[in-house]
């Protein structure tokens, strides 16, 4: 019987929110969950946009890599 484990080495996740604090909470929560998979943050990219009504919209891309 051959038993082989495959580990996730790279994972990219996308987040969106209407305010920066909510976006930060989402990312921090996912960091804790991915820590259990032995993944750490490799890079973070984020953007902010405003619509014609002046409302802000935040997005982020977080790249996780195996420790």
The Cα 62–Cα 67 span in angstroms is 15
Structure tokens at 19: 């305010």
Determine the pLDDT at residue 4.
80
Predicted structure pTM score: 0.83
Cβ within 8 Å of residue 32, ≥6 positions away: none
Token pair recorded at residue 53: 């009504």
How would you write the pLDDT of the chain (67 residues) with one tens digit per residue? 787 878 889 999 999 999 999 999 999 999 999 999 999 999 999 999 998 999 999 999 999 999 8
Task: Give the chain's end-to-end CA distance (angstroms, integer).
Answer: 29
Residue 33 tokens, joined: 């969950």
> Which pLDDT value is given to residue 15?
98
Q: CA neighbours within 13 Å on the CB side: how many for 12?
A: 4
């Amino acid at each position: 019987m051959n038993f082989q484990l495959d580990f996730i080495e790279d994972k990219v996740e996308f987040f969106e929110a209407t305010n920066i604090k909510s976006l930060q909470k989402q990312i921090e929560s996912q960091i804790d969950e991915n820590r259990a998979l032995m993944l750490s943050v490799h890079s973070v990219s984020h953007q902010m946009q405003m619509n014609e009504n002046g409302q802000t919209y935040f997005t982020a891309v977080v790249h996780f890599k195996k420790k």
